[in-house]
Homo-oligomer: A and B are copies of this chain.
Amino acid sequence: MGETVVLRSLLGDALRETRLQQQRTLREVSSAARVSLGYLSEVERGQKEASSELLASICRALGVRLSDVLRDVSEELAVFEPHPEPHPVPVLEVVPEPAPVSAVLSAA
């Protein structure tokens, strides 16, 4: 996927930034979160997907809410994400206007 900005990388960056702002080491935070130092390091570098539980645990260890981290990350991701073609949502209550007779005749 190369250049694509992936959620994993943005999450890792956010966690790492939070830890560094607190001037804490990988060792400290991984121990508080009960994850291995290597795992936390890989998550921070965007090399490993953190499971929901471990993400929650790392956030707890950092004293931040996962929901706050996610909101920040979603804003960063939005900068890179193009607006996709929306899939049309069926709207059941719309009653189509009848086609004018001339259009029906010319389509036949």
Contacts from A to B (Cβ < 8 Å)? 1, 4, 6-9, 21-24, 49, 51-53, 55-56, 59-60, 62-68, 70-71, 73-75, 77-78, 81, 83-90
Contact = CB atoms under 8 A, between A and B. Distances in A.
Contacts of A87: 22, 24, 62-64
A34 to B, nearest CB: 13
B84 A64 contact: yes
A43 to B, nearest CB: 12
A6 B78 contact: no
B63 A23 contact: no
A45 to B, nearest CB: 13
B52 A7 contact: yes
